[in-house]
Amino acid sequence: MPEDTCCTPARRCMILSCSGGSNVGQLSNQAAVELTKEGFGSMYCLAGIGAAISGFVQSAKDVDEMVVIDGCPIGCARGVLKQQGVPERNYLVVTDLGIEKAKRFDLDPADIVRVKDAVRRMLGPDSVRPADDACCSGSGGDGC
């Protein structure tokens, strides 16, 4: 297959988020989904990392840039990464933005925007870079 038919240049910012059973867990997840759709980075599989599946773990270790979004200070996403020896980078806790944790799932769109904006501020404008060595990210953004 010639080089010019290789798939799209890698978005080398991996987004990992909590998806827990609360408003802040789901805000984390939804922010990650929307940031991916907006082309900021690629949401990836925290559960796969937690399950110690080598492709997910190694991808997290080798990716150029990463953002980790936890819903609350319990820090489950952080704990998963620590357990698998993945260095933590660009860590955000949704409750640190002044959003109170509650057992409800009706998300305020303004809160989703707050989380996304906080992620963007954390990484700055150069977080998504064209690939150097990598030739393909088709498997990342399209599912895992």
Partner 1 sequence: MKKIQILGPGCAKCVKLAQNTDQAAKKLGIEYEIEKVTDIKEIMKYGVMMTPALVVDGKVKTVGKVLTPAEIEGFIKE
The edge-to-edge listing of strands for the beta sheet with 91-93 is: 42-43, 13-17, 65-70, 91-93
Shortest distance in whole angstroms from residue 133 CB to partner 1: 5
Nearer to partner 1 (CB atom), residue 76 or residue 144: 144
Nearer to partner 1 (CB atom), residue 8 or residue 117: 8
Q: What is 16-72 written as a DSSP string?
A: EE---SSHHHHHHHHHHHHHHHTTS-EE--HHHHHTT-HHHHHHHHH-SEEEEEESS
Nearer to partner 1 (CB atom), residue 5 or residue 98: 5
Give the whole-angstrom CA distance, residue 31 versus residue 7: 26
Nearer to partner 1 (CB atom), residue 19 or residue 137: 137
Q: Tokens 């840039």: give the residue.
A: 65
What b/e readout covers 47-60, taking b as 16+ CB neighbours within 10 angstroms? ebbbeeeeebbebb
For residue 131, state whether it binds partner 1 (rule: CB under 8 A). Answer: yes
Which residues ranging from 70 to 129 are in contact with partner 1 (CB under 8 A)?
A: none
For residues 33 to 72, the per-residue mask of contacts with partner 1, x marking binding by CB under 8 A and - elsewhere, is ---------x-xx--x----xxxxxxx-xxx---------
User: By CB under 8 A, which span of 69-77, 94-102, 117-125, 136-144 interacts with partner 1?
Assistant: 136-144
- Using CB under 8 A, pick the residue from 14, 27, 67, 112 that binds partner 1: 14
